[in-house]
Amino acid sequence: MSDVIEQEPLLAVSDLGVDYGTGRRRHRAVEDVGFEIPVGRTLGLVGESGAGKSTIGKAVLGLVPVAAGTIRFEGRDLARLSRRERLALGARRQVVFQDPYSSLDPTRTIGYTLAEPCRSAPRPDRMTPQQITERMGALLSRVGLAPDAAERYPAQFSGGQRQRIAIARSLMLSPRLIVCDEPVSALDLSVQAEVLNLLAEVQRDLGLSLLFISHDLTVVRHISHEIVVLRGGHVVERGPADRVYEYPEDPYTQALLASAPVPDPEQQQLRRDARRALAEQEG
């Protein structure tokens, strides 16, 4: 029976609709969005600001209400769960936010921040203080930091190190899914690669599934198995990461690719020309 369950996608989103506002000011930010994430795989959500990427991530985490469609996690419809059941499943869905500077409380030590998910976990999942300390040390080592980092404050770390700490915090409760909401957009290019490689390594070692959100198609391609391209809350293209990146079919996806910076000046000029041509076609 367990083998059958594992063959099901860990996360299945179907015909998702999310509204913002109330009454006549209600606005549908996401409409008819669907995708699946198998166990141990990464799905990239890519699109410009306002495309609905972060809204979908929040819906998956249970932070915004679902107006239409379903979100099934571990085979269970999240909208039909009791509060206790949602809290229990919440421990298995974690998040890494965009800004490594604002996502960590500057007045608290790293150890306090890492232990915070454990303090709010459902009672059966709570660890003893000794277990928390041991897990913090193990996870800090896993993300490339010394265990004594737990005694220091966020201001004593670089942006890349802070994002490593955020990844360690997301792993404290042994989740099965991590929503990565623009986790490298605030970092330098060289640091971006380090963090992406760390996420891929952690995923491989722990069998995690990732929902990776970004505006940068190049970044998404680097870490994703499948890509879903969003525009105005709608899906305009989807497919295997290499296919969507190498042979984008929708003009919007082509424009996203053309807008991604590359180190080669001649290649960059070609992309500018392509972006200009696409804009003229749409105009």
Q: What's the helix, strand, coil split of the chain in %, to 5?
A: 45, 20, 30
DSSP of 42-94: EEEEE-STTSSHHHHHHHHHTSS--SEEEEEETTEEGGGS-HHHHHHHHTTEE
What is the rounded (10 degree) CA torsion for 14, 201, 198, 63? 20
- pLDDT tens-digit profile, the chain (283 residues): 334 445 789 999 999 999 998 778 888 999 999 999 999 999 999 999 999 999 999 999 999 999 999 999 999 999 888 887 887 788 899 999 988 888 899 999 999 999 988 887 766 567 888 999 999 999 999 999 999 999 999 999 999 999 999 999 999 999 999 999 999 988 888 899 999 999 999 999 999 999 999 999 989 999 999 999 999 999 999 999 999 999 999 999 998 888 766 555 555 555 555 555 545 555 5
Contacts of 57 (CB under 8 A, 6+ apart): 45, 95, 179, 181, 211, 213
One-letter amino acid of 64: V
Taking Cα atoms as reference points, which of 194, 192, 170 lies closest to residue 182?
A: 192
Number of Cβ atoms within 10 Å of the Cβ of 233: 22
What is the DSSP code (8-state) at residue 235?
E
Contact, 150 vs 114, CB < 8 A? yes
pTM to 2 decimal places: 0.88
> What is the reported pLDDT for 258?
82
3-state secondary structure 178-204: EEEECCCCCCCHHHHHHHHHHHHHHHH
